Amino acid sequence: MSQPLYMQLYQTLKEQIIEGQYQSGDRFPSKRRLAEHHSLSNTTIEHAYQYLLDEGYIYSKPRSGYYVSDIESLPIVTKETATSFQEKETLEERQTRYQFDLARIDTEHFPWQQFRKYARDVFDQSMADILQPGMQQGEYKLRQAIAHYLFNSRGVNCHPDQIIIGSSTEQLINQVTDILTDRSYIIEYPSYPPIKQVLDKKGLNYKRVPVKKSGIDMKAIRNSKREVVYVTPSHQFPTGYVMNLKVRTQLINWAQQHPERYIIEDDYDSEFRYFSKPIPALQSLDTTGKVIYISTFSKSLFPSCRIAFMVLPEDLMERYHHLPNKEGTTVPAPMQYMVAEFMEKGSFERHLNKMRKVYRYKLTYILDALAPYKDQLHIEGATTGMHFTLTVQNGLSLKDILNRAKKNHVRLTPLNRYMKKNSRNKHVPKFIIGFGGIKDEDLKAHTEALLKTLTI
């Protein structure tokens, strides 16, 4: 038999107080307001509140209302259950205060003033059209800015009409699989999670092909009968390897040998190359429309802007336009216009130039600190991007290192997280070290904690 409504409401409100959604001394919602909000009778609200009053979760003030009690003084609430989600997050952060996070960026050097200006400009009355439903492929102004940027910085030659805006790499890959129907896929091993997630969700056939230091294994691709290859050639995730020109050329030639073959190029981490000029995109070598180019602003701007984009070959644009019930862009038009302004005014290029110096400083600091331990720590993938890999070759096991990391309050990402479960214990411990989100003043402490964890 189900509980009466007043008991259900009482339980819900009690749990919210215990979980910390209300703090001690907070004013509690009035009975009238709660009754209107939940479309409940006053009697139901009064019964629930009376239970809370009787058990001491709330108290009343004459002619003022109800307030949340100091719940730590209640004998039935332990300190553990009284800890709010926010407090638990803070505790977890304290326990892993040295975080080599892959997703975080440097926020101290973000051009707040310029972005605020573009935000004000976008919300000017003369821009009222941005409140209306936007273009399905994304706002033309942003697609035009992206086309110019790609040509000048990545060698990608495309028209704005070939560009599609999405909120994530995963969303765009999902659209690609809608366009390339009845195909089977090749993905890198280990690989960037979104491609595997999409293929698994849609039940599509795929084969994992190992990645070498020079790039994806072309012999395995040639021996496969699959038609679509997904690669991250500029800075392979998670290994950090950069595909060399020979493999790039071989991959293009492979795709050109059959009309059903295509390459999905995820230009992951391509903006940040620290010790030499950026390598042109794989798409820049393509003369026959075989490369689908995908990238995002997650690292070059900030992760929460949620803007990704892809360039489709012209023949695939035809298929895109004929897709039934295709999904339109989910990126808000104001954000698209803000980023477009940022790019058109040259601010984006200046920001990238500055951030390359910022991230190069962080990377160089960490590499210099690790250099004396080169007999114990082997570094790869540190010429570009915002992470590198670190192989520990001093006899410490993965379990040893993770126990040390916990003791030293260090959060590390093992490379085997992206590998098949049955092969995880066959390799020496290897970690992916993200450095973008570490503040300059924290570099010394982070590096010392890392060395204390990994070296003997």
Q: What are phi and psi of 164, to 5 degrees?
A: -125, 130
Is residue 366 within 8 Å of 418, Cβ to Cβ? no
Query: CA nearest 419: which of 430, 410, 405, 411?
Result: 430
- Tell me the fold of 5-83: Arc Repressor Mutant, subunit A (1.10.10)
Question: What DSSP string describes 343-389?
Answer: HHTTHHHHHHHHHHHHHHHHHHHHHHHHGGGTTTEEEES-SBSSEEE
The answer on pLDDT for 85 being more than 60 is no
- Tell me the fold of 112-349: Aspartate Aminotransferase; domain 2 (3.40.640)
Domain ranges of the chain: 5-83, 94-110+351-454, 112-349
The answer on pLDDT for 86 being more than 70 is no
Predicted confidence at residue 186, as pLDDT, reads 97
- Looking at domain 94-110+351-454, its CATH superfamily turns out to be Aspartate Aminotransferase, domain 1 (3.90.1150.10)
| Amino acid letter, 41 | S
- Of 231-235, 238-242, 269-273, 364-368, which range is least confident? 269-273
The answer on pLDDT for 87 being more than 60 is no
Query: CA nearest 447: which of 407, 419, 417, 410?
Result: 410
Predicted confidence at residue 81, as pLDDT, reads 46
Query: CA nearest 136: which of 374, 326, 419?
Result: 326
0.85 surpassed by pTM: no
For tokens 């004396």, the residue is 372
The answer on pLDDT for 353 being more than 70 is yes
Predicted confidence at residue 69, as pLDDT, reads 81
Q: Of all residues in the chain, what percent carry a pLDDT higher than 90?
A: 58
**CA–CA separation, 265 and 294 (whole Å):** 6
